Amino acid sequence: MKSATRLIPTLTQPLRSNARPISRTILSKAILAGPSRLPRFYATTSNAPTATSTIDPNARSTGTEEGQEGGEEELPSNIHFEELSEEADERINDFLGQHDEFTSLPNGARSDPILLPITSLNSPTPTLASESDMLISLPPDIFAQPIRRDILHRCVVWYLSLLRSGTKTTKSRSTVNYSGRKLRPQKGTGRARVGDASSGTRRGGAPIHPIFAKDWSQKLPRKVRALGLKIALTSKLNSGLLRVVQDLNEGEWTGTNEAKRALSDAVIQVEKPVDQVEMEPITPLGENQTQDQAEVKNENEGDEGGLEIIDRFGPPKDLSILFIYSPSETQEKAEGLANFARNIANLTNVELMSVEEVEVYHILKYKWLVMDGESVDFLSGLNDLRDELDVFPEQIEEEVGERIGA
């Protein structure tokens, strides 16, 4: 009798907002554990059940067809079933099967590695893939984050607040140019008691309520700053403005001018081979003979050669590049970075920073982002793992070779 009373709703108002997917057989047969494989139905109640509507408990306990049919007929009169349309069913299944609840990326996109071709600053086209056809695997937990502009905005405002300093200030009793000596004894003179000369009640003394420089710095959680850095790197990768090189000093430039020519766009003269020169037809004589000859002359000049633009990081006056390196303990790499920093020091909007010092503001400020391979390992935590395990790539290759040979 208790199970029967639970099936009869006691509310007189419609329950469409609180409807739950159930099936017809749940109300007519014994409730069984496990998921239902029947089509989705939504049960709603409109009015309270009438006094004449009753439920036979024997119809629920028997397993014959008559009992099932009787159970369906003896359902409360205020329960109605509405079946979902096929289109809505398909849309729900497609959404749950292809998308994740917390991100717009497909399922499995976070675990799949991101392969990016390695470029070379020693190549005539440093923004294109190098001839070695090498790929680097970018960690998806860093370079595949959903873009959140609110996080980027918070990180930029936080960094700019650290650079801001107050300019309005006055001297106080501790900074005014007076000693702390008491001007006269406390007693014995018959005059009022006084302190030192920096008192605010004396002429030339410090202000009683001095103005101090305002602190504009803000606080931002460390995890929010780390998430902002990941989102900024993801935005550069999605926009196609991220490049990874093996070594920043692989070009071995000798000066600023050479570095500027290697990074900026170039215009070269392309000569047409002699074998590909096409013979022009003879121009007929007529009234417009002078005009026809001029047109033929211009066409011939264009066929002799042309100008070709090599796209790199932009025009010389519009360069905007941020180079990121990983701190290294080797002396050879330190000397190479010092040479590279000296060559690009006088270039406008070209900066070299360590991966430990870079912030979201720097990544968004510059158009291009060029990183070396070790800086990517630093962000992914591989350097810390190598230091903990004390394992180097050479040892790993030797162990793999021994296992393959065995």
User: 80-125: per-residue pLDDT in tens?
Assistant: 666 666 776 777 677 666 544 434 444 444 567 889 999 999 988 9
Residues 6 or more apart from 110 whose CB is under 8 A from it? Answer: 103, 140, 141, 144
CATH number given to 115-148+221-263+314-400: 3.40.1370.10
Residue type, 121: L
Place of tokens 């028997």: 62
pTM value is 0.59
Residue scoring higher pLDDT (237 or 85): 237
Place of tokens 């070594």: 247
Which of 353, 122, 131, 374 shows the shortest CA–CA distance to 259?
A: 122
What's the pLDDT tens digit per position in 161-183?
Answer: 999 998 899 999 888 988 889 99
Measure the CA angle with vertex 394, ends 390 and 396; round to 5°.
Answer: 70
Largest Cα–Cα separation, the chain: 126
CATH 3.40.1370.10 segments of the chain: 115-148+221-263+314-400
CB 339 within 8 A of CB 249: yes
C-beta neighbour count of 268 within 10 angstroms: 10
CA distance 336 to 122: 14
17-20 long-range CB contacts below 8 Å, 24 or more apart? Answer: 19/43, 19/44
Task: Report residue 300 as tokens.
Answer: 């011939």
In this prediction, residue 7 has a pLDDT band, given cuts at 50, 70 and 90, of: very low
CA distance 90 to 303: 60
What's the pLDDT tens digit per position in 194-225?
Answer: 999 999 889 989 999 999 999 999 999 999 99
